[in-house]
Amino acid sequence: MSFFSKRLASTFTMKSVPTKARHNIPLPSSSFPSGFLLGGIHAGVKKKAGVPDLAVILSTSEQPTTAAACFTRNAFKAAPVLVSDEILTKNGGYARAVVVNSGCANAVTGKQGIDDAWAMVKATDSLLSPSASSSKFEHETLVMSTGVIGQNLPISKILAGIESQSPSKKETCVLGSDFKAWELAAQAFMTTDTFPKLRSRVFSIGGVEYRMAGMDKGAGMIHPNMGPASTSFSSGPKQLHATLLGCIMTDAAVSPRSLQSALTYAVDRSFNSISVDGDMSTNDSIYVLANGAASNGRVIDEETDKEGYEIFKKELTDFAADLAKLVVRDGEGATKFVTVTVKGAPSYRDAHNIASRISTSALVKTALYGEDANWGRILAATGSVPLQPTSANTPPPTIDPTKVSVTFLPSDGTSALPVLVNGEPEKVDEVRAKEILTLEDFEIVVDLGMGMDGEAKYWTCDFSYEYVRINGDYRS
């Protein structure tokens, strides 16, 4: 422990951080999508022996595997982000593998970092079995890295680890399709995470049953702002958008353009709606692979199969939100999981921007840790966000303070606590307020009262002394 951390610990009485291991739940192997092999091993990136730090995910489906991604908008995009975007763009939204290392971000590492990312891609490509549907692609692997920025990868160890996962090497290959294999892969994503974040679900479209499963990681340096890969069918601007990484797999068949469209929509309402500390990473990336192993001939597409696409988009959005919430629950030093809902705004974007500002306010987050219903800080954050013009020729709307209401909603089903109603402060029962904020989960609702249907949710956590300790000691 550093001198600063020891001094902090001796100065303040720290509230204990609730255990988070309960969020690591066993899942039935039957709930995982077919046509995938994956696993995690210790390759030697992390110092502690035996800790998984390298994950390999392979699609074994005979059907084409489509892929989509959303990447960080940080100017210092890590080498894996640049390389993966190039592969997706060149392939037009197809990829059959993902390789992930933890312990080193391979960010701000110059030409060597790019070379190392390509080396990981090529080594993982060699694990894929020949496929007629993808023989036209030179590279079919997407890569992710997470850990300390500005350090080069121990690339020889990583390449040896990847090679050990060749299905022909029975003595070293751990790749599988059961819960253990999926959990090992999820563990290999982790840095300061306290539990592997893995979920699965089964859903139906037109009487056909599909499966979706995925994992993510993140506990610090969490305030993603991700956008679509630079593929030609991506909507919106073509620029790219502890670290947030996530990978979702499904055995549905989805066209490349529709997979990207669905992921872009889902990410905005999930991973782009969480904050631990307000810091955007250089490596934030979310990938989706759809291998068609359970497709029964149906290819989901937003133009030719609108009904199927809408169902798939909703399932993906809900699933992404489930994964994103796990990141907030595992926020470094976090003792609270707080949902911030903003409604009555002119648009979803306005509501989202305000919810983001509330969720990243250090004053709000420290009040949450202190279990203090200091709603004045919430209002100050709300009022600091300018609303967007509804058209090019009209001035932006403004918030009317006399219409705004703020309410605390407990998660235990007991009555809500209004603290501001139509701009008028309520006589707050401080004992009741303390009861709500003592809960691990609760919600803050800000109604702008503008008579419009713009509504958005953000998920955040508190700032504790433990957060400072973790980040003060991060590199040591």
Last residue of a domain, one of 330, 345, 379: 330
Q: Once rounded to an integer, what is the mean pLDDT over residues 379-391?
A: 94
Q: Once rounded to an integer, what is the mean pLDDT over residues 25-41?
A: 96
- Distance between CA 464 and CA 151 in Å, rounded? 28
Place of tokens 């001094």: 7
Query: Is residue 4, in this structure, part of any structural domain at all?
Result: no
Q: What share of the chain is helix, strand, coil (3-state, %, to 5)?
A: 35, 25, 45
Query: Is residue 7, in this structure, part of any structural domain at all?
Result: no
222 shares its domain with 365 = no
Enter the DSSP assignment of 23: G
Cα torsion 346, 352, 355, 357: sign: negative
- Distance between CA 330 and CA 384 in Å, rounded? 28
- Contact between 59 and 65 under an 8 Å Cβ cutoff? The reply is yes
219 shares its domain with 349 = no
Which of these, 131, 129, 73, 125, lies nearest to 99 by C-alpha position?
A: 125
E strand or H helix at 317: helix 306-329
241-296 pLDDT tens trace: 356 899 999 999 999 999 999 999 999 999 999 998 777 788 999 999 999 999 98
The token pair that represents 9 in the structure block: 């610990």
What pLDDT score was predicted for residue 233? Answer: 65
What pLDDT score was predicted for residue 393? Answer: 85
Query: Is residue 13, in this structure, part of any structural domain at all?
Result: no
- Contact between 88 and 69 under an 8 Å Cβ cutoff? The reply is yes
297 shares its domain with 370 = no
* Parallel, antiparallel or unpaired: strands 405-410 and 417-421: antiparallel
353 shares its domain with 295 = no
Q: Once rounded to an integer, what is the mean pLDDT over residues 437-444?
A: 97
Q: Is 80 exceeded by the pLDDT of residue 297?
A: yes
What pLDDT score was predicted for residue 13? Answer: 55
Q: Is 90 exceeded by the pLDDT of residue 312?
A: yes
- Contact between 334 and 220 under an 8 Å Cβ cutoff? The reply is no
- Total domain count, the chain: 2
CB atoms within 10 A of CB 475: 9
426 shares its domain with 411 = yes
Q: Residues with catalytic annotation?
A: 243
What pLDDT score was predicted for residue 14? Answer: 62
What pLDDT score was predicted for residue 4? Answer: 47
Q: Read off φ and ψ for residue 131, nearest 5 degrees.
A: -140, 125
Last residue of a domain, one of 330, 348, 363: 330
Was 217 annotated as part of a binding site? yes
Which of these, 45, 7, 327, lies nearest to 192 by C-alpha position?
A: 327
- Contact between 355 and 341 under an 8 Å Cβ cutoff? The reply is yes
Where residue 475 falls among pLDDT bands split at 50, 70, 90?
low
431 shares its domain with 290 = no
Query: Is residue 137, in this structure, part of any structural domain at all?
Result: yes
- Contact between 291 and 65 under an 8 Å Cβ cutoff? The reply is yes
Mean pLDDT taken over the chain: 91
- Contact between 334 and 438 under an 8 Å Cβ cutoff? The reply is no
What pLDDT score was predicted for residue 311? Answer: 98
What pLDDT score was predicted for residue 237? Answer: 40
CATH code of the domain in which 356 resides: 3.10.20.340
- Distance between CA 108 and CA 11 in Å, rounded? 37
Q: What is the distance of C-alpha 100 from the center of its chain? A: 15
What pLDDT score was predicted for residue 85? Answer: 97
117-154 pLDDT tens trace: 999 999 999 999 987 565 689 999 999 999 989 999 99
- Distance between CA 237 and CA 260 in Å, rounded? 14
CB atoms within 10 A of CB 163: 14
Judged by average pLDDT, the poorest of 188-192, 231-235, 285-289, 352-356 is 231-235
* Parallel, antiparallel or unpaired: strands 226-228 and 424-425: unpaired
Where residue 6 falls among pLDDT bands split at 50, 70, 90?
low
Give me Rg for the CA atoms of the chain. 23
318 shares its domain with 366 = no
Which of these, 286, 149, 288, 151, lies nearest to 221 by C-alpha position?
A: 149
Last residue of a domain, one of 304, 330, 356: 330
Host domain of residue 353: 337-473
58-97 pLDDT tens trace: 999 999 999 999 999 888 999 999 999 999 999 999 999 9
Q: Is 80 exceeded by the pLDDT of residue 413?
A: yes
The token pair that represents 160 in the structure block: 């040896």
119 shares its domain with 151 = yes
Query: Is residue 302, in this structure, part of any structural domain at all?
Result: yes
Query: Is residue 164, in this structure, part of any structural domain at all?
Result: yes
Show the beta-strand stretches assigned E in 310-435.
337-345, 405-410, 417-421, 424-425
Was 382 annotated as part of a binding site? no
- Determine the 3-state secondary structure of 99 from DSSP: strand
- Contact between 420 and 375 under an 8 Å Cβ cutoff? The reply is yes
- Distance between CA 32 and CA 28 in Å, rounded? 8
283 shares its domain with 355 = no
What pLDDT score was predicted for residue 132? Answer: 56
195 shares its domain with 253 = yes
CATH code of the domain in which 192 resides: 3.60.70.12
* Parallel, antiparallel or unpaired: strands 337-345 and 441-447: parallel
Q: Read off φ and ψ for residue 231, nearest 5 degrees.
A: -65, 155
Was 398 annotated as part of a binding site? no
Where residue 353 falls among pLDDT bands split at 50, 70, 90?
very high
Query: Is residue 466, in this structure, part of any structural domain at all?
Result: yes
* Parallel, antiparallel or unpaired: strands 245-250 and 405-410: unpaired
323 shares its domain with 352 = no
- Determine the 3-state secondary structure of 183 from DSSP: helix
What pLDDT score was predicted for residue 270? Answer: 95
310 shares its domain with 389 = no
CB atoms within 10 A of CB 461: 28
Was 440 annotated as part of a binding site? no
Query: Is residue 258, in this structure, part of any structural domain at all?
Result: yes
- Distance between CA 345 and CA 446 in Å, rounded? 10
Percentage of the chain lying above the pLDDT 70 cut: 92
Hey, what amino acid is at 394? T
